[in-house]
Structure 1
Amino acid sequence: MVGTVTDDSKFTKHKQVVVTWDNGFENSYKAGENGLFELLILDNAPTGVMHSSTVCASCGNDLYIIGMRWSCAKCDNINLCTPCYMNNKHDVRHSFYRIEFPRAERVAVDPRANSTIVQSEGLYHGAKVVRGKSWDSGDQDKGFGAEGVILMYRTETNSIVKKVKEYFDTRYKAAKLRDSVRVKWRNGKIAMYRVGKNGKVVLKARMLAYGEPCYHEHLPLCGNFRPKATQLAVSTSTESRLSEESKECVQHYFYESWFPRLGLRVVRGPTWRWADHDGGEGVVGTVTGIEKYKEDKSVHVTWDNGNQNSCRTGRHGSYDLLLLDSAPSGLWQKDTHCEECGRGQFIRGIRWKCAECVGINLCTPCYMNNHHNVHHHFYRTNILNGEKGFYDASVLVPPRYNSRVIQSHGLYFGAKVVRGKDWRYAEQDQGWGAEGVVLENNGKGSDEINRNSVRVKWRNGKIARYRVGKDGKVDLQCLMSGYGDPYYPDHLPLCGDEKDASSGISSGEHQMSSVEIGDRVKITLPADLVRDMMPPGSWNTEIVELIGREGKVSRITANDEALVEYDLGSLGLDICQKTWSFHQVLLERIVDEQNVPTSTQNLDQKSEATVRKSATSSAETCLLCEEAKAIVVFQPCGHRIVCQTCSVRLKKCLSCQQNISAKSLPHEEENRKLARQLEEIKELHKCGICLDANKDTAFTPCGHSTCTDCAERLTQCPICRTDIASKIKLYL
């Protein structure tokens, strides 16, 4: 997520700046306060920084480079602008010098080939936008709330002559400075709007779009300026680097952007349909191809047993994979250490934060191995390199002590291996088909810390390290798997899950929905999470008393905040005010069950795992294989969502997560109903005395009946005690 520095008035005294994010949310961040830097500078071109007489060697789009200059350390006179550098122009194996502004000190950065790349998102080509807080163009957009689409982000022109002629043209100059965008509104009007120009952002994104990729490790800290450059903080596009203190409060207002990355370690997910092609439940695989994700919502996976296949990551609402570990792809948590395994390194991969203890954070291996109290709830947080490129908005997961656990296995200690599809080490293994054994990891080196390689000892005695996820490559495949760490499948995120991040901030108990004036609402989130999500300075300890209490929405502000009015008398609350302002993400709408369709009630009752399966109570085709007709009915819930073949492996209903006591086909259910009716009819015809033979003799005058054997011994009716005048034989 990209944002713009719109206020640096507090920088000199407090070392803080105000950032307006492309989705409209605004907050204050540290830019050197107490040695903390929460932001990185993505592009300083909007501030007017230019390198006179230096031309980009790749695009040649400018008479001189605007923004940061990237100078090759190995080649003479090779300078790149930021867009070209981030798009891998020139040799990615070469080291570069970063020059933030003219006469600034050169800062050496590592080759891009060895660095982690992140996809930026924000006000880029294709984004859907509405007017923002600094809007000053009247009703040019056809009124408040009208949507538009960004047509372009930057102008590309190859003719030097045309550049000179168009130098003072507004559109071309804006494109060079990368401080404006062109928007087409629904009424057909097209105009240019500020995104960083003069420190103003007049738009906000209703749906984000992908921009250019960037290397976070190569970007400078926002606030770490030389004295002459402090003014460059104004309107500098930035990406967030959040500290522990700012936490995840911004995340809940962002669209979740689970853009799959090469190297992710995955296991089979909720809609897996390829039998044991992966080697069985618990076998781990690696994402080795993401080319089809944008258009087809699928990724290519290489399993540790050597098999490969394409897996759905959101296509038609199907998710075949769970993300087991994101560390091999280069994800790490800035300024956060694992409480159990040591403080020497930042947490790699997913961070697990205890919801009941202060300052307790675990890495994935420690969490899965039951360190800390297994009865405590945890928040699952996935932040890329301490920045916001990979969102998973602090999902609250249940305690581990009562959760299902699965043993992982694959390329782990003790596994017998041979060379795999990405092998590039010639005869180091003593030839094709030679076996080796995975040794215990020694915990040294960046590859070991990132969990993206293993050490193998071959029969010829050689010991070497090989890639398992690094750069999206897998050099080995298993002949016999080794056991890795156990994992809790219900606690893992889906691979490729793109949804509003706020819908996953708790384990399905709270879902963000837009509220309207007059709606009855309540807050169901934990108090500490509510505090972290509220804008700075707006938290009041009296809000704790309002959690779980019913209120009524009296107004919706321009910032999408809801004013909630509470009846303090009926609630028995002794607080200072009855009207409070909350962002809609914090509120859960209260709906009367009798007025809600069955499908909506089912949706409200789903757990996090059920929501992400997008299952319904009834489906025409099987939710798992998407081929056969859904005919199997689960008991006791009565849902019909899978075919007969797929139902064999299920123990819980995908729609409501209830344990399945019985499975039946529609005609079997009808047969059972008819059988019950037949039994009831037979019971009606049984003799009431012996309970064995059928009734075949009637008495007069009462008309009651028994079997023949019992009737011979009777002089009075056993039911009404009337004297029997005669007995009549019945033929049924």
Structure 2
Amino acid sequence: MEIANAVGANSGAPRTNRVVLEGVGARVIRGPDWKWGKQDGGEGHVGTVRNFESPDEVVVVWDNGTAANYRCSGQYDLRIFDSAPTGIKHDGTMCDTCRQQPIFGIRWKCAECGNYDLCSVCYHGDKHHLRHRFYRITTPGSERLFLETRRKSKKIAVRGIFPGARVVRGVDWQWEDQDGGNGRRGKVQEIQDWSAASPRSAAYIVWDNGSKNLYRVGFEGMADLKVVNDAKGQTVYRDHLPCLGDQGAGRSGPPDLKIGDQVNVDLELEIVQSLQHGHGGWTDGMFECLSSTGAVVGIDEDHDIVVAYNSGNRWTFNPAVLTKIAAPPVLRHRFYRITTPGSERLFLETRRKSKKIAEI
């Protein structure tokens, strides 16, 4: 499903325009190109996307109350921690752990199990097998990105307006003196949905004066609250989070796999057979692939990989099955030898045909 239609834009609209529409309300943390000190409160501290000044520049209100402009094209100051508050949803999907249906925000699809999906909360909450690799699908219809296993990846804690935090009214406050007056404090009890179409976009607060209510933290980019004593949220796989605005070259296979590469199948047989469903299947003749190195000779329109073997057989694989091996040195190439700067160069025979001696 094209995301442009989902947000009411023209289906032919440039992708950058769609990003602007999709991003408002997203909860973000600092990204790989961050160079702004502790404006955000420190690594892992969370803010809300308020609006886009242009496809290249975004305004964020951090939970600590600081508001500033950041880069979201070419250089990426921000990562998307949670896009569920924006209302992005993947119709026809369900989280196979918590049963959320449809999945809101980022969809995480297991590359090693048939038809298995997680929502962001469950993915970062270590549900399912940590050795399995996943595809990250940021928006419906977007290209999927093949990720490293969670087992090998770094986790950080997010901090901000989470249960236990102490807060005061924020930049978008419009609720009179429910809080007892400007500067009065309250405590976050729970992160909730402001509306069914905008999950995790609000916080339920108990004010020190005894008043209780729900306030916007992400809904339509609004920040009703400012944190004065932050709290720890969940831990997340930082490098698995997408950069805000980065359309990347998300692909269905490992990003460096190309024609001519040498590949092995290193997974267990049962996993390989499962991964092959919908990607060319599995036959008994393919057992040779488990003990032989093959060469990539084709990539089909579904991004499946065609591999040729010394037997003459060619088999089609799910890219998640394959491991690229280092290319051997090209010994058939001929070289020039240049002994000193400015000296004449001598054209040599190939190393493949030449005698080698051992060092003494």
Query: So what's the TM-score if we normalise by structure 2?
Result: 0.72
Q: CA shift at 1:325, angstroms?
A: 1.0
Distance 1:266 1:543, change over 3 A: farther
C-alpha distance in structure 1 between counterparts of 2:127 and 2:161, whole Å: 23
Query: How many pairs were matched up?
Result: 323
Give identity over the alignment, percent.
Answer: 33
Partner SS state of residue 102, structure 2: strand
| 1:361 counterpart residue number | 117
| 2:28 counterpart residue number | 266
| 1:284 counterpart residue number | 46
Distance 1:41 1:431, change over 3 A: closer
Q: CA shift at 1:266, angstroms?
A: 1.1
Partner SS state of residue 127, structure 2: coil
C-alpha distance in structure 1 between counterparts of 2:228 and 2:214, whole Å: 18
Instruction: Give the AA of the match of 1:493.
Output: P
Partner SS state of residue 335, structure 1: coil
8 Å Cα contact 1:561/1:581 also seen in 2? no
| 1:302 counterpart residue number | 61
Instruction: Give the AA of the match of 1:346.
Output: P
| 1:411 counterpart residue number | 161
Q: CA shift at 1:323, angstroms?
A: 1.5
Aligned counterpart in structure 1 of residue 7 of structure 2, from 117, 130, 139: 117
Q: Gapped runs of 5+ residues in structure 1?
A: 3-39, 43-115, 125-208, 214-256, 570-576, 596-732
8 Å Cα contact 1:436/1:458 also seen in 2? yes
C-alpha distance in structure 2 between counterparts of 1:495 and 1:405, whole Å: 19
Q: Deviations over 1:255-308 (max 9, x none)?
A: xx7975111111112221111110011211111122312xxx232211110112
Partner SS state of residue 122, structure 2: helix
Instruction: Give the AA of the match of 2:294.
Output: E
8 Å Cα contact 2:194/2:200 also seen in 1? no
8 Å Cα contact 1:418/1:433 also seen in 2? yes
Partner SS state of residue 291, structure 1: strand
The answer as to 2:307 corresponding to 1:550 is no
Aligned pairs for 1:5-154 within 5 A: 117=7, 122=12
Instruction: Give the AA of the match of 1:409.
Output: R
Instruction: Give the AA of the match of 2:86.
Output: S
C-alpha distance in structure 2 between counterparts of 1:563 and 1:285, whole Å: 41
Q: CA shift at 1:564, angstroms?
A: 5.8
Instruction: Give the AA of the match of 1:432.
Output: N
Q: CA shift at 1:434, angstroms?
A: 2.0
Distance 1:279 1:300, change over 3 A: same
C-alpha distance in structure 2 between counterparts of 1:398 and 1:488, whole Å: 10
C-alpha distance in structure 2 between counterparts of 1:560 and 1:325, whole Å: 29
8 Å Cα contact 1:560/1:584 also seen in 2? no
| 2:209 counterpart residue number | 460
Partner SS state of residue 397, structure 1: coil
C-alpha distance in structure 2 between counterparts of 1:565 and 1:417, whole Å: 58
Q: CA shift at 1:406, angstroms?
A: 1.5
Distance 1:121 1:589, change over 3 A: farther
C-alpha distance in structure 2 between counterparts of 1:259 and 1:546, whole Å: 46
Q: Deviations over 1:187-235 (max 9, x none)?
A: xxxxxxxxxxxxxxxxxxxxxx45997xxxxxxxxxxxxxxxxxxxxxx
Distance 1:565 1:420, change over 3 A: closer
C-alpha distance in structure 2 between counterparts of 1:118 and 1:259, whole Å: 9
Distance 1:461 1:334, change over 3 A: same
Aligned counterpart in structure 1 of residue 243 of structure 2, from 471, 491, 494: 494
Q: Deviations over 1:535-593 (max 9, x none)?
A: xxx5454567548732364x899x79999673443xxxxxxx73467899999998846
Aligned counterpart in structure 2 of residue 393 of structure 1, from 131, 134, 144: 144
Q: CA shift at 1:394, angstroms?
A: 4.3
Instruction: Give the AA of the match of 1:549.
Output: T
C-alpha distance in structure 1 between counterparts of 2:307 and 2:158, whole Å: 50
Partner SS state of residue 430, structure 1: coil
Partner SS state of residue 365, structure 1: helix
| 2:313 counterpart residue number | 578
| 2:92 counterpart residue number | 335
C-alpha distance in structure 2 between counterparts of 1:393 and 1:544, whole Å: 29
Partner SS state of residue 313, structure 1: strand
C-alpha distance in structure 1 between counterparts of 2:319 and 2:233, whole Å: 42
Partner SS state of residue 123, structure 2: helix
The answer as to 2:71 corresponding to 1:312 is yes
Distance 1:368 1:587, change over 3 A: closer
- Point out which structure has higher relative CO (alpha carbons under 8 A, 6+ apart): 2
8 Å Cα contact 2:193/2:199 also seen in 1? no
Q: CA shift at 1:521, angstroms?
A: 5.2
Structure label with greater radius of gyration: 1
8 Å Cα contact 1:412/1:483 also seen in 2? yes
Distance 1:543 1:292, change over 3 A: farther
Aligned pairs for 1:504-515 within 5 A: 505-506=253-254, 510-513=255-258, 515=259
C-alpha distance in structure 2 between counterparts of 1:325 and 1:267, whole Å: 9
Partner SS state of residue 53, structure 2: coil
| 2:222 counterpart residue number | 473
C-alpha distance in structure 2 between counterparts of 1:328 and 1:41, whole Å: 18
C-alpha distance in structure 1 between counterparts of 2:27 and 2:4, whole Å: 30
Q: Which runs of 4+ in 1 moved over 6 A?
A: 523-526, 559-563, 581-591
The answer as to 2:275 corresponding to 1:275 is no
| 2:342 counterpart residue number | none
Q: CA shift at 1:512, angstroms?
A: 5.0
8 Å Cα contact 2:266/2:323 also seen in 1? no
Q: CA shift at 1:479, angstroms?
A: 0.9
C-alpha distance in structure 2 between counterparts of 1:581 and 1:364, whole Å: 31
Instruction: Give the AA of the match of 2:179.
Output: D
Q: CA shift at 1:428, angstroms?
A: 2.7
8 Å Cα contact 2:97/2:122 also seen in 1? yes
Instruction: Give the AA of the match of 1:467.
Output: R
Q: CA shift at 1:408, angstroms?
A: 1.2
Partner SS state of residue 178, structure 2: coil
C-alpha distance in structure 1 between counterparts of 2:307 and 2:120, whole Å: 42
C-alpha distance in structure 2 between counterparts of 1:500 and 1:303, whole Å: 29
Instruction: Give the AA of the match of 1:367.
Output: Y
8 Å Cα contact 2:7/2:21 also seen in 1? no
Partner SS state of residue 190, structure 2: coil
Q: CA shift at 1:383, angstroms?
A: 5.2
Structure having the larger proportion of residues in helix: 1
